[in-house]
Structure formats: structure tokens, C-alpha cells
Amino acid sequence: MPGKTVVIFMRVVLLNSQDKQPTTPGMLVNQLPKAKAGASVTVLIDSIGPLSTISWTFPYTGLQGSLVSSTNTPARLPDGVLNNPLYALGSATNRWSVEFWTSPNLAVCPSGTVVQMRVSGSGVAGATQLNAPPYAEGVVVTQGSVYEDWFVVLQGRD
């Protein structure tokens, strides 16, 4: 668009069972929400500007080196009713939902591991990215593991 600058903006809202708070600019590690290693964490991304593509990764550094979280893009937003994304690709505003989870193994993803975020989108008006850091020091910090919630019941018979 000659003579005009189009700004595409993204805002992140984090949903998880331990700590429901938005990730705000400048959040430090000790302020980030907590999630157990291996737990599914849902991130909502609101965009302003016509995005026709969006991609995301959630890297973290465990004891084994640089790792990337597994991700899932659900067909519906967390309410279970609305489509994901909320509006058609290229809409002036949109809401996107993505789930991610780290390794549940504490030897790979120990407590205190910071999960970062790399989001990028593009459309006819331009491209944008939202990375944490620098937006914030990360998205979540791991505390414990989902393995701690499991127990085995041995049953036998005579």
C-alpha cells in the first residue's frame, strides 16, 4: 500500500490450570505463569491486521540442549464452540488458539525451565512477529511434572 504503513499487532493470553494470567510486556521469569512439564498449555493470540498465515514455535532449553515443544492447533477455540481461528484468514482482526507441551521428563525439562515463544504472521498488509523474549522473558516456567500426578495401582488375582 503506497504511502501507508500498516501495523499488525498481537496480544497473548495464556490459559492453563495452575495460573490464569495474561502474559504482559516486560514480564520477568519470576512473574511468568507456572505449568508442569508435560502439561498442555493453551495460548490465545489476538491479532489486529489482516493475517493470512501464522506460525508458532515454543522453544525451551532443557539439560539436553535446545528443544522445541510439541504443538497442536485445535479446530475450536477453548470454549469448544467457536472455530479456530475465530474469523476467516485475512480478516482485519482475529483470535488464534494453540496448545503446546514440553517433555514431562524432569531430566529433560527440569523445574524452572523457561518456555519461550516465537510467533510470526503475514498477509497482504505486511508481516509481523511476536517473540518472548523480548516481549517477556518467556511464556511459562515449568514447576514439577505431570508424572507427579500419576500413580500405578497393581492388581492381582488369586
Domain boundaries, the chain: 9-149
Residue % of the chain over a pLDDT of 90? 16
Q: Is 75 exposed, middle or buried (0-12, 13-18, 19+ CB in 10 A)?
A: exposed
pTM of the model: 0.80
- In angstroms, rounded to a whole number, what is the distance separating the alpha carbons of residues 39 and 99? 10
Which pLDDT belongs to residue 99? Answer: 87
Q: Any idea how long the chain is? A: 158
Q: Which residue has the higher pLDDT, 1 or 73?
A: 73
Closest CA to 43 of 135, 127, 155, 147: 135
| Topology of the domain comprising 9-149 | Coagulation Factor XIII; Chain A, domain 1 (2.70.50)
Which pLDDT belongs to residue 131? Answer: 82
**At a CB cut-off of 8 Å and minimum separation 6, what does 89 contact?**
51, 52, 53
